[in-house]
Amino acid sequence: MKMDENASPEKPGMLGGKTILVTGAGEGIGKAVSLEYARQGATVILLGKTKRNLEGVYDEIKDSGYPEPAILVVDLSEPRSDAFKTIGAAIASEFGSLDGIVHNAAELGMLTPLEMYDGDLWDQVFQVNVKAPLQIHQQCLGLMRESVYASIIFTTDESGRKPKGYWGAYGISKAAVLHMGKMMAIEYANTSIRVNVVDPGPCRTGLRLMTHPGMPMKSYVPPEAITGIYTRLMTDEVQAHNGEVFFAQEWINPELDDRTESDLAALAH
């Protein structure tokens, strides 16, 4: 789904005063979205499991002169840890409210036939991809209700929109995420909370390298070039959109797309 293609481009500061939680913020799409939100004036809560990566994003934001972010080091695969159980309390203590959540963190698991899938790994993938977003939502719902309007973005995948063999728990979990986002949108339709789903499409990320190791990574769009739709869904414009699926590759910023014609040709083949 596309929004108004004639809408004016984003201006720096359009997210000023907002506090937004981004999971999986240490690298890839989560990092790119966090940096763009900060550039647009938001205070970003960087959640991830690798402290070093989060500190790197924190430093980039600070060095750029954007609002100081916060770091939450949490392994979403460990729901019984103190860090996991206190996500909502930590945000409430530090900020008092929350204007948005981007559920971006994901666990790939294995690309293998379902008959061979390991049960423990299956549980871990579903914990990170499906159960953790629900648990975070439950912890943070009270904070989001304090916002004039709030936006929740779930992240799906092509393998979750249409069945693809061998994508196992990842594909099925992304289908569940898509369904959960739409269900949540119905439940909050009469509130100030809006819930939408974004399919980033193939991007130049570590996850893509794992799933397509034989492909030239330069042929994929860099994640910073697809952040436009994520930003729009955190603005007032989101009020007109609820329970919809957006395709980030329809919103590529050509100024940030560094691919050459030869790169694109390689992807076509």
CA distances from 74 to 29, 133, 137 (A): 18, 13, 15
Q: What is the pLDDT of residue 212?
A: 67
Residue 151 in domain: yes
Residue 166 in domain: yes
**What residues act catalytically?**
170
Would the pLDDT of 160 be above 80? yes
Contact 70, 96 (CB under 8 A): no
Number of domains in the chain: 1
Residue 13 in domain: no
Q: What average pLDDT does the segment 203-229 reach?
A: 79
Residue 2 in domain: no
Residue 96 in domain: yes
Q: What is the pLDDT of residue 5?
A: 39
Would the pLDDT of 215 be above 60? yes
Contact 67, 41 (CB under 8 A): yes
Q: What is the pLDDT of residue 219?
A: 79
| Distance from C-alpha of 162 to C-alpha of 28, rounded to nearest angstrom | 23
Confidence of residue 39 (pLDDT cuts 50, 70, 90): very high
Would the pLDDT of 259 be above 90? no
Q: In what order do the strands lie in the sheet with 70-73?
A: 70-73, 43-48, 19-23, 100-103, 150-155, 193-199, 245-247
pLDDT in tens, 111-139: 999 999 999 999 999 999 999 999 999 99
Of 133, 130, 209, 137, the residue nearest 169 (C-alpha): 130
Would the pLDDT of 204 be above 90? no
pLDDT in tens, 6-34: 333 444 589 999 999 999 999 999 999 99
| Distance from C-alpha of 269 to C-alpha of 112, rounded to nearest angstrom | 24
pLDDT in tens, 59-99: 999 999 999 999 999 999 999 999 999 999 999 999 999 99
Residue 129 in domain: yes
Q: What is the pLDDT of residue 183?
A: 98
CA angle 125, 128, 134 (to 5 degrees): 125
CATH of the domain at 99: 3.40.50.720
Q: Encode 165-213 in three state secondary structure.
A: CCCHHHHHHHHHHHHHHHHHHHHCCCCCEEEEEEECCCECCHHHHHHCC
DSSP tag of 22: E
Residue 134 in domain: yes
188 lies in which domain range?
Answer: 19-268
| Distance from C-alpha of 163 to C-alpha of 44, rounded to nearest angstrom | 34
Residue 5 in domain: no
